[in-house]
Amino acid sequence: MGKGWVNHMRDGGFKLFMEDHRAYRLLTLIAYRAKRIDDDNEFDTADLEINQAFIGDYEKIGLTRGEYRSAQKKLTRYRLAIFKPTPKGTIATLISRHAMDINSDQSLTSIKPANLSMKIDELQPSKNQLQPKQKPLTRKEEVKRITTTTQSVDVLYPCLTECMDLINDDKQGLMQYSEDRVILALEWAQTAIINTTLIQTLHWHCREKIPPKPALSKGSQHQREAWQFNAFLEEQGYHDLHKLNYEAIPKNYCHVILGMGKTTITLEQSIESLLNDFSEAKKEILKRN
On the question of pLDDT at 256 being above 90, the answer is yes
Q: Output 60-64 pairs: Cβ under 8 A, ≥24 positions apart.
A: 60/29, 61/25, 61/26, 61/28, 61/29, 62/25, 63/22, 63/25, 63/26
Q: How many residues does the chain have?
A: 289
CB contact at 8 A, 35 and 49: yes
Stretch among 110-114, 146-150, 234-238 having the lowest mean pLDDT:
146-150
Report the Cα 114 to chain-centroid distance in Å.
21
pTM of the entire predicted model: 0.41
CB contact at 8 A, 10 and 116: no
Give the pLDDT confidence of 164-181 residue by residue, as tens digits.
778 888 888 888 888 888
Q: Name the more confident of 46 and 227.
A: 227
- Residue 127's alpha-carbon distances to 52, 76, 121, 131, 231, in angstroms, are 41, 28, 12, 10, 48
Q: What is the pLDDT of residue 136?
A: 56
Can you tell me the distance from the alpha carbon of 228 to that of 255, in angstroms, rounded to the nearest whole number?
13
Give the pLDDT confidence of 66-90 residue by residue, as tens digits.
888 888 888 888 888 898 887 777 8
- Sign, Cα dihedral of 176, 177, 178, 182: negative
Q: What is the pLDDT of residue 151?
A: 38
Q: Domains in the chain, start-ordered, CATH in brackets?
A: 7-123 (1.10.10), 139-207 (no CATH), 215-288 (no CATH)
Can you tell me the distance from the alpha carbon of 98 to that of 52, in angstroms, rounded to the nearest whole number?
16
Annotate 228-250 with three-state secondary structure: HHHHHHHHCCCHHHHHHHHHHHH
Q: What is the pLDDT of residue 77?
A: 84
Rounded to an integer, the average pLDDT of 145-158 is 52
Can you tell me the distance from the alpha carbon of 152 to that of 156, in angstroms, rounded to the nearest whole number?
9
Give the pLDDT confidence of 26-35 residue by residue, as tens digits.
999 998 888 8
Give the pLDDT confidence of 199-221 residue by residue, as tens digits.
888 998 888 887 776 654 456 78
